């Protein structure tokens, strides 16, 4: 084994913990340190031999870390941290506010390129592996339609929205792909689907004492943007039941490209994820792309990149010759 | 629209016809000519306005064709044509004799590189898209197992083998994934599967007049390599039935990576193809990669490449900025 890739983690919630765990599955990488905005001495990570430092001290680690994996949130953390840290480190992040990606890309690029750093942004499964499959599908089958379905999976944003409804003590929301629609798509029928056709929503809610279930249900199903465009079912359960049956973070979904070739032959490409842990899977994708970022930087390819710019062989610890021999 | 990519086709069987058809689905490409070893005047192609030339005259087209798509077979045509044509043209091929890929790669590379040409070899779905998904899967989930299933699909090699059995007038053979095994894999059970567990084989046979069905069946199911390791069913049908129900070339299959992250969470990635026409789909993949080969050659990236070396964004006619904005 040659020199290991030295990795740092910036931000340590569910995603950061998933990244720590994923790094230990990759023999060609070593975790140098975790950086946090909390008090370092208060943060307990999986391997207590790994040092934890204050994020504000991170610049002292220039030259000691090959790739920094940013595990902050897209709303408040990454818009600032991404461009700031890309000046000093080769970085990977999972920035997922789709509408803001072009502007974010430009900012990160402007930081990384003049400083000879490489930053792969918006890595994960959507954006990420799903984005790749949308592009592969359209490029291979130009005459066709792409469908993206999510779930069954826990949606953090929608769960938070339900928790903000007066009378709700705690709640989770699952997004569920509509089976009828999915089967039509898989059969190559190229249906025209509305938002309501594609997914249903299911909420499991613990009420505050004295709250009126009818009022709460009504408040949820009529919530603009979040629920009005979907058929939503609300279940009321106990705090114990919620803890017992709804504490995991499963997710997944599928990207289907359905198209026609020749004299009308149906061709269907489907990419499916069934994930017992959404943050751990996202973390695993980030770590594979960290390897690619390191290699690109070594080759002198600087600036911001996305999954579209990364040759798939760069993700694998194996050599190009081994991939050709064993995997092609 | 800027200048179109000028494409040539070398070899015109099912795959060549599929490539012709796929080129017409891509507005940024134009088909310059088809090259054949048959008499050019005898070859009928889909669009009779496109010129057909003798393959031996192809060198006169240097500088007139940006990418040449090689549509010959892996057994007899490509081992010779691939290295020979890579001296004069940027090429794409679907070389699929897995064991010979490393040697073939070296030969094509030795032709292409000093002549400033770019050649992407072994493009299609396996090798090709399935190969990509085997590498993505392992890189993302290092602790896990990869399964590749084929079918339900018509296997040309096995159909040919059945046709060579004495007493067989005509035949087709379908490879069928074993549903029990597939469901175990999809459920994340990580089963250990033998060849017999993974697929069954089904033959539809038209007998020569006077042939003994029992003898023919026995000869098929005991054929070494082709059938002894599988459970095989043989059906005897009429020539009319064969023509009516078994003249298409459907195929497909799936690559499943099943792995664990964190404290044992199951994560399953599945890539599935359901193809009504196997050669047309392979052709569509070749044409998408032809775009990538052209772009790489324009950038001065010469030599032999495989799908592992190609950044996915290069397959799309869209710009990198458009992909980031609309597809990420």
Angstroms from A134 CA to nearest CA on chain B? 7
Most confident of B186-200, B221-235, B279-293: B279-293
Q: Please report residues of A whose CB lies closer than 8 A to that of B324.
A: 101-102, 105, 306, 308
pLDDT of A166 higher than 70: yes
A148/B contact by beta carbon, under 8 A: no
Per-window interface: A 2-61 vs B, CB < 8 A = 17-18, 21-22, 25-26
CB-CB: which of A25, A270, A274 is closest to B142?
Answer: A25
Angstroms from B144 CA to nearest CA on chain A? 11
Question: Averaged over B116-132, what is the pLDDT?
Answer: 97
Asked if residues B323 and B311 have their Cβ atoms less than 8 Å apart, the reply is no
pLDDT of A179 higher than 80: yes
Q: Among A74, A139, A316, which would you mutate to test the B interface (most chain B Cβ atoms within 10 Å of its Cβ)? A: A139
Q: Please report residues of A whose CB lies closer than 8 A to that of B308.
A: 311-313, 316, 320, 323-324, 327-328
A316/B contact by beta carbon, under 8 A: yes
CB-CB: which of B21, B283, B313 is closest to A308?
Answer: B313
Residue corresponding to tokens 């053979």: B173
B229/A contact by beta carbon, under 8 A: no
Res. A248 pLDDT band, cuts 50 70 90: confident
Angstroms from B282 CA to nearest CA on chain A? 9
- pLDDT tens string B270-304: 999 999 999 999 999 999 999 999 999 999 999 99
Q: Among B247, B251, B312, which would you mutate to test the A interface (most chain A Cβ atoms within 10 Å of its Cβ)? A: B312
A105/B contact by beta carbon, under 8 A: yes
**What's the half-sphere exposure (Cβ side, CA atoms, 13 Å) at B11?**
21
pLDDT of B124 higher than 60: yes
- Per the prediction, chain B carries an average pLDDT of 96
What pLDDT sits at residue A1?
53
Bridge-based pairing of strands A118-120 and A144-150 is unpaired
Q: How far apart are CA B286 and CA B125, in angstroms?
A: 9
A315/B contact by beta carbon, under 8 A: yes
Q: Among A28, A143, A275, A308, which would you mutate to test the B interface (most chain B Cβ atoms within 10 Å of its Cβ)? A: A308
Question: Averaged over B135-151, what is the pLDDT?
Answer: 97
Asked if residues B321 and A304 have their Cβ atoms less than 8 Å apart, the reply is no
Asked if residues A91 and A117 have their Cβ atoms less than 8 Å apart, the reply is yes
Question: Averaged over A257-281, what is the pLDDT?
Answer: 96
Q: How far apart are CA B171 and CA B232, in angstroms?
A: 14
Minimal-distance CA residue of chain B relative to A26: B142
Could you give the percent of chain B with pLDDT greater than 70?
100
A229/B contact by beta carbon, under 8 A: no
Angstroms from B244 CA to nearest CA on chain A? 16
- Residue A143's contacts (CB-CB under 8 Å, 6 or more residues apart) are A259, A260, A261, B25
pLDDT of B156 higher than 90: no
Bridge-based pairing of strands B199-207 and B168-177 is antiparallel
Res. B1 pLDDT band, cuts 50 70 90: low
Q: Please report residues of B whose CB lies closer than 8 A to that of A120.
A: none
What pLDDT sits at residue B157?
86
Phi, psi torsion values for A20, nearest 5 degrees: -55, -50
Q: How far apart are CA B261 and CA B188, in angstroms?
A: 12
DSSP string, B115-131: GT-EEE-S-SBTTBHHH
What pLDDT sits at residue A178?
94
Whether B101 sits inside 8 A of A328 (CB atoms) is yes
Question: Averaged over A212-230, what is the pLDDT?
Answer: 93
> Which element (helix H / strand E) includes B236?
strand B231-236
What pLDDT sits at residue B133?
98
Bridge-based pairing of strands B199-207 and A251-261 is unpaired
Res. A156 pLDDT band, cuts 50 70 90: confident
- Residue B283's contacts (CB-CB under 8 Å, 6 or more residues apart) are A261, B15, B16, B17, B18, B19, B21, B22, B71
Question: Averaged over A218-226, what is the pLDDT?
Answer: 92
What pLDDT sits at residue B148?
95
**CB neighbours of residue A272 within 10 Å:** 19
What pLDDT sits at residue B220?
96
A288/B contact by beta carbon, under 8 A: yes
Buried residues in A290-299 as b, exposed as e (16+ CB within 10 A): bbbbbbbbee
Q: Please report residues of B whose CB lies closer than 8 A to that of A142.
A: 25-26
Long-range contacts of A49-56 (CB under 8 A, 24+ apart): A50/A20, A52/A12, A55/A10, A55/A11
DSSP reduced 3-state for B35: strand
Q: Is the dihedral of CA B229, B233, B236, B237 positive or negative?
A: negative
> Which element (helix H / strand E) includes A167?
none
**What's the half-sphere exposure (Cβ side, CA atoms, 13 Å) at A250?**
16
Q: What angle do CA B3, B5, B9 make, to 5 degrees?
A: 150
B182/A contact by beta carbon, under 8 A: no
What pLDDT sits at residue B112?
98
pLDDT of B178 higher than 90: yes
CB-CB: which of A22, A131, A310 is closest to B328?
Answer: A131
């Amino acid at each position: 084994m040659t020199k290991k890739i030295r990795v740092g983690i910036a931000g340590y919630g569910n995603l950061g913990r998933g990244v720590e765990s994923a790094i230990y599955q990759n023999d060609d990488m070593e975790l140098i340190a975790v950086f946090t905005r909390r008090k370092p001495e208060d943060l307990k990570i999986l391997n207590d031999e790994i040092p934890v430092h204050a994020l504000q001290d991170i610049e002292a680690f220039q030259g000691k870390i090959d790739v920094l994996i940013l595990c902050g949130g897209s709303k408040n953390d990454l818009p600032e941290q991404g461009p700031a840290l890309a000046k000093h480190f080769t970085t990977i992040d999972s920035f997922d506010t789709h509408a803001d990606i072009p502007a974010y890309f430009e900012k990160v690029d402007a930081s990384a390129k003049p400083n000879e750093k490489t930053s792969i942004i918006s890595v994960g499964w959507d954006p990420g592996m799903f984005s790749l499959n949308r592009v592969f599908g359209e490029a291979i089958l130009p005459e066709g339609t792409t469908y993206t379905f999510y779930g069954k999976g826990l949606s953090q944003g929608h769960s938070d929205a339900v928790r903000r409804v007066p009378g709700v003590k705690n709640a989770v929301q699952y997004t569920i792909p509509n089976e009828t629609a999915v089967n039509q798509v898989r059969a190559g029928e190229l249906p025209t689907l509305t938002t309501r056709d594609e997914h249903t929503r299911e909420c499991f809610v613990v009420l505050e004492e004295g709250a009126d279930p009818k009022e709460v249900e009504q408040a949820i199903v009529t919530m603009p943007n979040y629920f009005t465009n979907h058929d939503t079912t609300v279940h009321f359960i106990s705090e114990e039941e919620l803890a017992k049956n709804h504490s995991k973070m499963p997710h997944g979904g599928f990207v289907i490209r359905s198209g026609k070739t020749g004299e009308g032959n149906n061709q269907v490409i489907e990419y499916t994820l069934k994930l017992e842990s959404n943050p751990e899977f996202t973390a695993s994708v980030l770590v594979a792309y960290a390897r690619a970022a390191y290699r690109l930087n070594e080759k002198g390819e600087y600036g911001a990149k996305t999954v579209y710019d990364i040759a798939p062989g760069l993700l694998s610890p194996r050599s190009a010759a081994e991939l050709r021999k064993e995997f092609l």
